[in-house]
Amino acid sequence: MKKTDKILVTGASGFIGSRLIKMLWENGYTNLRSTSWSRGLREDFEGWSEVEHLNGDLREAEFCQRVSEGVDVVFHAAANTSNALDTKVNPLLHVTPNVEMNTNLMEQSWRNKVRKFMFISSNTTYPDVGDEYCTEDMNVQTPNIYPAYKAVGWMKRYGETLCEFFSNQIHDPMQCVIIRPSNSFGPNDKYDFEKCHVTPANIRKVADGMNPIPLWGDGTEVRDVIHVDDMVSGFITVAEKVDKYDIYNVCYGSGHTVMEVLDLIKEIEGNTNPVEFVNNKAPMIPTRLLSNEKLLKLGWKPKYDLRSGLEDALKWYKENKDQFDPNSKP
């Protein structure tokens, strides 16, 4: 990826896409185009007004053709998101729109001769391997996906299969690179309890002074949680260094229990409120660990450790809490 490339970022009004646009600009990639479904760019960085922004529906082939025309590199960060409970009740709520988006955007990008397609996949593609670290060469074409995330896991696996097809199974190939990120948190995250993941939820619960602090699950679940800015810097590093079909985990490469992360959030805030365990959410994967050895070999270095990352996220939430629904219930 070169500074002169025309770069498309889909989902640019979302959590990950908005931080990716910001970091690309700050790293000298100023020939940017972005898409979102209904919202404009988050106006939180110098140069946002210089980004070419198109609103539209990526499920429509015509829109995909238009947004990918003249583009050299695509970062596909757009997704129709839902939580594990939603997908358990209605699996197609998550699957159908994302399959349509992924298929249309990849095909139209190939037709428009996009050179590189960065597909933001998910760690839910990995099989349930307990406390084993997931590596990129692991066979993901197995039925062994944790049940609560089977819909999103198989949907992302289909997207990864498309990447392999357009890279290796078609004439005049488009080189696709698959990114499997760990669980992210940070500025611009979803802090509404109906939509957010466990780490941003716990940041809000502690910052809002909930007493007791309701904790989803039993606190023993293990996650590799990463600050969103370190995540998108990993995306950019891979795009800069990798020019052929490949797969990369983007993560810190270390795991912490949900309770350990919550205790650290409480320590940062000086919060001593007790914890109350609740089970009104869909079951979480007990353990999900990812290896980052392959990413580190590219020269990627994170800006944050877990503590400084949580401090940054807490600061951002407290400065921006008015934008979130005060009636949202954990």
pTM score, two decimals?
0.92
Q: What are phi and psi of 272, to 5 degrees?
A: -115, 15
- In a 10 Å sphere around its CB, with 0-12 CB exposed, 13-18 middle and 19+ buried, how is residue 141 labelled? exposed
Q: Could you tell me which residues come within 8 angstroms of residue 131 by beta carbon, excluding any fewer than 6 positions away?
A: 222, 287, 289
**Single-letter code of the amino acid located at 155:** M
Q: Print burial letters for 227-238: b (CB count within 10 Å at least 16), e (below 16).
A: bbbbbbbbbbbb
Q: Could you tell me which residues come within 8 angstroms of residue 115 by beta carbon, excluding any fewer than 6 positions away?
A: 5, 72, 73, 174, 175
Structure token digits, residue 184: 């992210």
In the three-class reduction of DSSP (H, G, I as helix; E, B as strand; rest coil), residue 177 is classed as strand
Q: What pLDDT is recorded for position 318?
A: 94
Question: Which residue's structure tokens are 């990369």?
Answer: 248
What kind and span of H or E run contains 110? helix 92-111
pLDDT in tens, 43-101: 566 777 788 999 999 999 999 999 999 999 999 999 876 655 666 667 677 788 889 99
Q: What pLDDT is recorded for position 311?
A: 98
Query: Could you give the CA distance from residue 323 to residue 314 in angstroms, rounded to a whole number?
Result: 15
Pairing of strands 222-223, 175-181: unpaired
Query: Could you give the CA distance from residue 256 to residue 254 in angstroms, rounded to a whole number?
Result: 7
Architecture of domain 186-224+254-287+304-323: Alpha-Beta Complex (3.90)
pLDDT in tens, 200-243: 999 999 999 999 999 988 889 999 999 999 999 999 999 999 99
CB 112 within 8 A of CB 166: no
Query: Could you give the CA distance from residue 316 to residue 138 in angstroms, rounded to a whole number?
Result: 37
The domains of the chain are located at 7-184+226-250, 186-224+254-287+304-323
pLDDT in tens, 249-264: 999 999 999 999 999 9
CB 148 within 8 A of CB 274: no
CB 67 within 8 A of CB 8: yes
Q: Residue 281 above 70 pLDDT?
A: no
Q: How many helices (H) and strands (E) does the chain have?
A: 10, 15
Domain 7-184+226-250 has CATH 2.60.40.10: no
Nearest to 179 by CA among 131, 221, 242, 227: 242
Percent helix, percent strand, percent coil in the chain, to nearest 5: 40, 20, 40
Query: Could you give the CA distance from residue 96 to residue 149 in angstroms, rounded to a whole number?
Result: 15
Q: Residue 30 above 60 pLDDT?
A: yes
**Single-letter code of the amino acid located at 280:** N
Strand partners of residue 216: 278
- The more confidently predicted of residues 328 and 42 is 328
Query: CA torsion sign, 146 to 126 to 235 to 171?
Result: negative
